[in-house]
Amino acid sequence: MGVGSAGNPFTFSLSGPGLLKVTDAFDIGDTFDVFVNSVLAFTTSAPGAGSFTGNPDVAFASGYYSAGSLLLAAGNYSIDIFANQSPFGGGGSYVEIESAIPLPGTLALVGLGLAGLGLRRRVA
């Protein structure tokens, strides 16, 4: 996508909360404006200087790559991303939506912890 040119919007629905993550991809130097339901939600951070990575999780955590995130509630969303700065004339980004879905094992551990707390209170 070129700097300031129209993005490529995508839509999705969340049944529970989710974390929208946007990270510069491949070459360090791009920043992005992220619109959620046609409203500017955030601009990614200023890029730093560092080494190349093709791993979006490493790029997001590195501090070298421009990145940003937004916690979304359950609902319907349209996301549009525009490159607002790029030393390359256009930019690429990784986009990820993390949703918190408790695993059955996690629920069992929480249940055991609550049962233990109940027993401890009963003994005391």
Q: What is the mean predicted confidence (pLDDT) over 60-76?
A: 91
Lowest mean pLDDT among 3-17, 45-59, 84-98: 3-17
3-class SS at 30? Answer: coil
Cα atoms found within 13 Å of the Cα of residue 48, Cβ hemisphere only: 12
The CATH number given to 10-123 is 2.60.120
Inform me whether the pLDDT recorded for 104 exceeds 70: no
What is the per-residue pLDDT for 116?
54
Instruction: Please tell me the pTM assigned to this model.
Output: 0.71
Q: What is the tens place of the pLDDT at every residue in 69-91?
A: 999 999 999 999 988 888 777 77
Q: Are 76 and 34 in contact (CB under 8 A)?
A: no
More confident residue, 38 or 105: 38
Beta bridge partners of 57: none
Cα atoms found within 13 Å of the Cα of residue 39, Cβ hemisphere only: 4
